[in-house]
Amino acid sequence: MDHHDRVQYLKQKGVIAIIRADQGGEALVRTVLALVEGGIHCVEVTMTTPGALDAIAAAQRELAGADVLLGAGSVLDAETARMAVSAGAAYLVCPITDEETIRTGRRYGAPVLPGAFTPTEILRAWELGGDLIKVFPATLGGLDYIKAVAAPMPQIPLVPTGGIDADNVHTFIRAGVAAVGVGSALVSSSLIATGAFDEIRQRAERFAEAVAQARSGN
């Protein structure tokens, strides 16, 4: 996939699962597989995960041919962005907006989702070249805030992250967001540590079904 196709894929799938784990290796690969089996095809491995770069590289090898787009999260600077792309990250997600990080991602063909919160920050992240804008932490304003921000800037694709679960995701999708970022409501470090991959798959199924119903108008 090229840069454009990856952006469209993220929008089409609608949910980015965030893995913030205490371990990488086989458990992480099995977690990604469980999410994919449940219908979640965009997965972000945060750089706070021990051995994150090795984990991304290993997962890419193991998942070759699978219908999944694997990215790196918690990317704070251009050097980390470069290393993540070299390890196989297909896109980069950031909690903040850093111009050099955006520039680096674009240089290597990786979509960048810079983090922003206020309307000024969101517009700046977009104008600097962010492909989708991660609104973080979305827990502070919730759905009402997302609607208020989107109203005067409908051209900016927003990805609210934080406080979204299977019960309220449909309200965000119907509000017109490009996608949502979901962490512990989908997968937590404790679920990974205990090998609860069936639970992760079931959670993914509930999310995927809720998004599909919201997009169909049901």
Question: Residue 184's domain is classified under what CATH number?
Answer: 3.20.20.70
Closest to 164 measured CA to CA, from 190, 151, 146, 191: 146
| Contact call for residues 147 and 166 (beta carbons, < 8 A) | no
**pLDDT for position 128:** 98
Q: How confident is the model at residue 26 (pLDDT cuts 50, 70, 90)?
A: confident
pLDDT, tens only, 149-202: 999 999 999 999 999 999 999 999 999 999 999 999 999 989 999 999 999 999
The residues carrying an active-site annotation are 44, 134
- DSSP code for 161: B
State the total domains in the chain.
Answer: 1
**pLDDT for position 76:** 98
pLDDT, tens only, 72-107: 999 999 999 999 999 999 999 999 999 999 999 999
Closest to 73 measured CA to CA, from 116, 31, 130, 18: 18
Structure tokens at 99: 């111009």
The answer to pTM > 0.85 is yes
Cα distances (angstroms) measured from residue 22 to each of 48, 110, 122, 188, 215 = 8, 26, 31, 10, 34
In the block, which residue shows the tokens 């070759």? Answer: 64
How far is 124 from 80, CA to CA, in rounded Å? 21
Q: Which domain holds residue 127?
A: 3-216
φ/ψ region of 17 (left if φ > 0, alpha if ψ in -120 to 50, else beta) reads beta
Closest to 211 measured CA to CA, from 184, 183, 178: 178
Coil vs helix vs strand at 198: helix
In the block, which residue shows the tokens 């980015």? Answer: 16
**pLDDT for position 202:** 98
Q: Give the residue with greater pLDDT, 25 vs 168.
A: 168
What is the separation of C-alpha 107 from the centre of its chain, rounded to a whole number of angstroms? 20
| Contact call for residues 124 and 116 (beta carbons, < 8 A) | yes
Question: Cβ–Cβ contacts within 10 Å for residue 61, how many?
Answer: 10
How far is 218 from 214, CA to CA, in rounded Å? 6
| Contact call for residues 131 and 111 (beta carbons, < 8 A) | yes
